[in-house]
Structure formats: C-alpha cells, structure tokens
Amino acid sequence: MLVEKEKIKTIALKSELSAGDIYFLLSLEDPDEIKFLGEIAYALKKDHVSNTVFFRGLIEFSNICTKDCFYCGIRKSNDLPRRFLMTKQEIVDAAIFAHSNHYGSVVLQSGERADGMFTGFVCDVVRTIKDKTEGKLGITLSCGEQNDETYKMFFAAGAHRYLLRIESSDREFYKMLHPSDRHHDFDTRLNCLRSLKEIGYQVGTGVMVGLPFQNREHLVKDLLFLKQIDADMVGLGPYIEHSQTPLYGYRDQLWPQQERLIMTLKMIAILRILMKDINIASATALQAIDGFGRERALKFGANIIMPGLTPRVHRKDYLLYEDKPCIDEDREECKDCLEIRIKLAGDKIGYDTWGDSKHFINRNHKTHLYV
C-alpha cells in the first residue's frame, strides 16, 4: 500500500505522463489509494486555480435536435419528450436570475440545429443578455456542431466560451456510438473544436465515462487527447443509460453505476495532474449516481459547477438520461443547496466573476476577467 502511494506520488510529480502511467492511476482500486490520488489532485487545484468554485447557470433552452446519438434521451427519434424551444423572454429571465444572484456566467445548451432561424435566434438571445447585464454576464454556448460562419456570429454576439464534447476520442468507438452518416462524423467534430479555438473561444470538450464496450485503454486515450488538443475547459461525466435509446439494449455490458462514478472521479483527478490550470466541470450526471457526486468531484480537482436554471416546466423534457437530479427543485432551492454543499466540501464560491480558464489566459497572455 505504501509502495503504491509512493508510485502514485512519483507519477503525479512527473512533467509528462505516459499512457502506462495513466493506465496505472486509472486502475487503482483500493479506496485509500483512490482517496490519496484525489488529495494530490485537490492540492494541485488549490495551487494552480485555487479552491474557488465558479458557477455557470445552466439553461437548457431547447430539446429540438436534428441528430440521433445512440446514448442521448433527446435524440430526434425519441418520440416521448415534448419538444420545446424556450422563448427569448424565458431565456433572458433565467440569465437575469443568474446575474442578480451573482453567478457570473451562464451556459446556454440545446439540441443541435443548424438552420438560420435557430442560429439567428441564438445570436439575438446572446446579444440581449449581454445588453441587459451591461456586458457583465459571461456566456458559454453548447449548441453542437455549426459551421465557421455561425461560430463567428455567436462569438461576435458576445459568447466567449463553447462546449463541445468529443464524447470519445477513439474514432472507431465514436462510430459505434453514432449513426453512420454525414451528420455524425468524427472528423467534423474535431474540425469544429479546431475552428472554435481559432476564432478565439475558450474551448471546452470532454467525454462520457462508463459507456458500454468502453475500456480503460479508451479512457487513457481520452485523457491524452484532452491534453493534446489543449482544452481550456473539460466536462467529463458518467454515462447514464436511458431506456428510450439504442444503447439501452447493451445495458448488460455496463459497469455498475458506482464503478462509473469512481472511474469518473479518477479521470478528473488524473486530468488535474495532466492539465493543472484548466477549468474542470463537475458534471450534473455525477449527482444522478450519488447525492454528493458533484461535491466529491470538487475534492478530486473539479472547480466548476453548473446549477440548473432551466424552468421547471421544461426539465422533464430535457432528460438526457434517467434519474436526472433536481428536476423538481426551483432555482432558489438549487442555489441555496449548492452553496451549503460547496462550503461543506471546503471550497469557496467565486461570485460576480466570469471565472475564465486560467489555461486560456496563460495561453493568450491577456486577461478576460471581469471582477
């Protein structure tokens, strides 16, 4: 046990980790050693990005999607959810709630649509939020794959961060998770990430952990990919099954949910060791497995939390997976509950600040912080 802890420490202190090093850390099973890995990651977080946690109010503003990803509960072929697009007023109201409650930033997330009516609407909403909050509220978009022109339009409207998970960095495995057509192309997704960076966004990507047929080699590859693509922000969370999706047919292949949770925590800790100054989100999906999953992720190196701001009436129609937490809580309850939990975890909350990725700032040698 002592020997293993020495080895964990030695690996964590290396300037470059090999695939073998990462595999070793991902394979830790002794709870005491996993806790030790978390403590190292937490100390690195404190040193490099501090123990201040930033809020991104999450507004899931539309579940209308033109894609059919095999894992996702709002895929276009699922007839069960009532499809919605929040009105501009509803979205702006949610953003103003975030601003008045000192959140600093919001994430506008939706299913994927590339039609002009939708992209124009998003631009209008972004501009209006910026206008109403005197430019003070930071805006992250997560609206899937778009062409360069659209990404530029969103950026010009005032969005400065974009989240687009690669889902899995293994090309062959990616193909198994998506229909084989031009709308679900691995290279398109990669090119989108490259374009976003070129345009000047802070770019976030990430993967799901614990998918059917996923193995540790895939996860090692994912971590090396995140490093190689030089992500500014990462959101990685456990895959959770949804009965109205094709992947549900393979649920007998899944690791138990607790294992998916622990593997996600190890992934977060290793990522913090690999990329010390990035922002790492504590995924909401963690909380679907463990009531304190998000706080546990903070202890393993995550520093971003995304409190839900989607109006209650729409939450039951934005179920990416089953057992999604907090679908009946209102925004106030959600905020109060999180504040207490974060303080109990020993972290502070960074109010009224964008909480931009230090990695992005270091990469660009210029500050985007509004304090």
72 binds ligand SF4 (CB under 6 A): yes
Task: Identify the sign of the CA torsion 143, 146, 149, 151.
Answer: positive
We find the least distance from the C-beta atom of residue 164 to ligand SAM, in angstroms, to be 5
69 binds ligand SF4 (CB under 6 A): yes
Instruction: Tell me how far CA of residue 131 lies from CA of 45, 157, 211, 229, 370, in angstroms.
Output: 34, 10, 41, 33, 16
Task: Identify the sign of the CA torsion 189, 190, 191, 196.
Answer: positive
285 binds, among ligand SF4, ligand SAM, none (CB under 5 to 8 A by kind): ligand SAM
75 binds, among ligand SAM, ligand SF4, none (CB under 5 to 8 A by kind): ligand SF4
96: how many CB neighbours lie within 10 A of its CB?
15
Question: Chain-centre distance of CA 289, in angstroms?
Answer: 16
We find the least distance from the C-beta atom of residue 75 to ligand SF4, in angstroms, to be 4
Question: Chain-centre distance of CA 195, in angstroms?
Answer: 19
For ligand SAM, the closer of residues 210 and 350 by Cβ is 210
Residue whose structure tokens are 């609206």:
143
Q: What is the DSSP string of 64-89?
A: --S---TT-TT-TT--SSPP-B--HH
We find the least distance from the C-beta atom of residue 365 to ligand SAM, in angstroms, to be 29
Contact 316, 83 (CB under 8 A): no
Nearest Cα residue to 24 out of 266, 319, 262, 193: 266
Contact 175, 135 (CB under 8 A): no
144 binds ligand SF4 (CB under 6 A): yes
Segment contacting ligand SF4 (CB under 6 A): 70-78, 131-139, 156-164, 194-202?
70-78
109 binds, among ligand SAM, ligand SF4, none (CB under 5 to 8 A by kind): ligand SAM
Q: Give me the residues that bind ligand SAM (CB under 6 A), please.
A: 71-72, 109, 111-112, 142, 144, 164-165, 167, 208, 237, 239-240, 242, 285, 320-321
273 binds ligand SF4 (CB under 6 A): no
314 binds ligand SF4 (CB under 6 A): no
How far is the C-alpha of 206 from the C-alpha of 35, rounded, in Å? 23
For ligand SF4, the closer of residues 72 and 209 by Cβ is 72
146 contacts: CB under 8 Å, gap ≥ 6: 114, 119, 154, 192
85 binds, among ligand SAM, ligand SF4, none (CB under 5 to 8 A by kind): none
User: Total number of residues binding ligand SF4 (CB under 6 A)?
Assistant: 9
301 binds, among ligand SAM, ligand SF4, none (CB under 5 to 8 A by kind): none
319 binds ligand SF4 (CB under 6 A): no
For ligand SF4, the closer of residues 72 and 129 by Cβ is 72
**Is 333 exposed, middle or buried (CB count within 10 Å of its CB: 0-12, 13-18, 19+)?**
exposed
Contact 168, 174 (CB under 8 A): yes
59 binds ligand SF4 (CB under 6 A): no
Query: Which tokens in the block code for residue 326?
Result: 């907090």
We find the least distance from the C-beta atom of residue 13 to ligand SF4, in angstroms, to be 37
Q: Name which of residues 84 to 143 contact ligand SF4 (CB under 6 A).
A: 111-112
Site residues, ligand SF4 (CB under 6 A): 65, 67, 69, 72, 74-75, 111-112, 144
